[in-house]
Structure 1
Amino acid sequence: MSDSESENKQRDKAIARNEAQREAVSSLRVSSWAIGAALIAGLVVFAIVWVWLRR
């Protein structure tokens, strides 16, 4: 293998690692938003049911 091919492979591996890390961070961010939205929706439903039962 020539030096340029080796350098290209190393650069491609580094790019792949960076993309994998970026994707993991993005997935975590989306998951956090989904959990937060589910908690808020659950609290709203709980409050509505609680008010309905206490009337």
Structure 2
Amino acid sequence: MQRNQELQLPLEYPSTRLPPYLGVLINVVISGFIYFSSYSICFPYSSYFFLKQLYS
């Protein structure tokens, strides 16, 4: 009974406010985007230095 009330809670939110899971989802997407963009910037440099060490 308690679990059913928890599941119905996001539907009762006003349309102007975001449900909690949507805020968490946006947070995860933003942090994932920042992580992947920094990784894609750092990866060519690290692979370049790795290959430079390998062939020297």
The alignment's TM-score, normalised by the length of structure 1, stands at 0.53
Task: Report % sequence identity.
Answer: 2
* Structure having greater relative contact order (Cα 8 Å, sep ≥ 6): 2
- How many residues align structurally? 46
Structure exhibiting the larger radius of gyration computed from Cα positions: 1
Name the one with the larger helix percent. Answer: 1
Q: Which runs of 4+ in 1 moved over 6 A?
A: none
Map of 1:29 onto structure 2: 30
Can you give the 5+ residue segments of structure 2 that lack an aligned partner in the other structure?
1-7
SS for the counterpart of 2:19 is helix
8 A Cα contact 2:10 2:20, kept in partner: no
- For structure 1, list consecutive stretches of 5 or more residues without a partner in the other structure: 1-8
Q: Once superposed, what is the RMSD of the aligned Cα atoms?
A: 3.2
TM-score, length-scaled by structure 2? 0.53
